[in-house]
Amino acid sequence: GISGNHLSDEDFYLNGKMILDKAILTFEILACHSRYDIQDIEYPAHLLSVTSGIGDAYVVVPHLQGIIIPSRYDAGFMRYGQNIWNLISDQEKWWNFESGNLNMPWFGATMGNSSVLVRVITSSDCALHLIGNAVVGTEGSTVSARQGENPGIRMSSLSPVWKSSKGKLSYPRKMCMEIVDNGYVGMSRRYKEFARASGRYVTLKEKIRNNPECEKIIGAPDIKIYCYTHRLDSPYFKAWSEPVLNGYTRVNTTFRQVEEMARDLSRMGMDKCLILLAGWNRMGYDREHVDMWPPAEAAGGAAELYRTCQTVKAKGYLFALHDNYDDFYPDAPSYDEKYILRDRDGSLHLGGIWDGGLCHITCPAKRGELLNRNLEKILGSVPLNGYYFDVITSTSHYECYDKRHSITRKEDLEMRLVLLKNVAGSGLLVGGERGADWALPVVSFCEGLSGGGTGYHRGIAYQTGLTVPLFYLVYRECVVGYWQHGTPHGREDHANHVLLDALYGQPSSWSLEYAQWRDLKPMISATYELLGRFHEKTAHFEMVDHRIMTADYMVQRSELEDGTVIWVNFGITTFQTQTFEMPPKSLRIERPGMPVLSAIVSRDIMYLDNQ
Reported residue count of the chain is 611
pLDDT(162) > 60: yes
**CB of 64 closer than 8 Å to CB of 177:** no
d(CA 209, CA 444): 13
User: Which pLDDT score, from 0 to 100, does residue 35 have?
Assistant: 83
- pLDDT tens profile 488-503: 999 999 999 999 999 9
d(CA 265, CA 165): 50
Query: Across the chain, what does the average pLDDT equal?
Result: 96
d(CA 270, CA 535): 13
pTM of the full structure: 0.96
Domain parsing of the chain, residue ranges: 42-198, 204-447, 545-607
User: Which pLDDT score, from 0 to 100, does residue 582 have?
Assistant: 98
Tell me what the mean pLDDT of segment 339-358 comes to: 98
Tell me which residue of 256, 382, 370 sits closest to 324, measured CA to CA. Answer: 370
94: Cβ contacts below 8 Å, ≥ 6 apart? 127, 128, 129, 130, 161
What is the C-alpha radius of gyration for the chain, rounded to an integer number of angstroms? 24
Q: How confident is the model at residue 611 (pLDDT cuts 50, 70, 90)?
A: low
Q: How confident is the model at residue 37 (pLDDT cuts 50, 70, 90)?
A: confident
User: Which pLDDT score, from 0 to 100, does residue 12 have?
Assistant: 85
- pLDDT tens profile 529-579: 999 999 999 999 999 999 999 999 999 999 999 999 999 999 999 999 999
User: Which pLDDT score, from 0 to 100, does residue 1 have?
Assistant: 56
The CATH number assigned to the domain with range 204-447 reads 3.20.20.80
Q: Where are the alpha helices (DSSP H) in 63-165?
A: 85-88
pLDDT(437) > 80: yes
User: Which pLDDT score, from 0 to 100, does residue 352 have?
Assistant: 97
Degrees to nearest 5, angle at CA 397 with 393 and 399? 150
> How far, in Å, are 25, 116, 174, 498, 499 from residue 28 at the CA level?
10, 18, 4, 44, 43
- pLDDT tens profile 390-407: 999 999 999 999 999 999
Q: How confident is the model at residue 5 (pLDDT cuts 50, 70, 90)?
A: low
- pLDDT tens profile 175-193: 999 999 999 999 999 999 9
- pLDDT tens profile 448-474: 999 877 777 888 998 899 999 999 999
Q: How confident is the model at residue 34 (pLDDT cuts 50, 70, 90)?
A: confident
Q: How confident is the model at residue 101 (pLDDT cuts 50, 70, 90)?
A: very high
pLDDT(2) > 80: no
Q: How confident is the model at residue 78 (pLDDT cuts 50, 70, 90)?
A: confident
- pLDDT tens profile 54-77: 999 999 999 999 999 999 999 988
User: Which pLDDT score, from 0 to 100, does residue 603 have?
Assistant: 96
pLDDT(13) > 80: yes
Tell me what the mean pLDDT of segment 341-359 comes to: 98
**pLDDT: is 11 or 48 the higher one?**
48
User: Which pLDDT score, from 0 to 100, does residue 3 have?
Assistant: 56
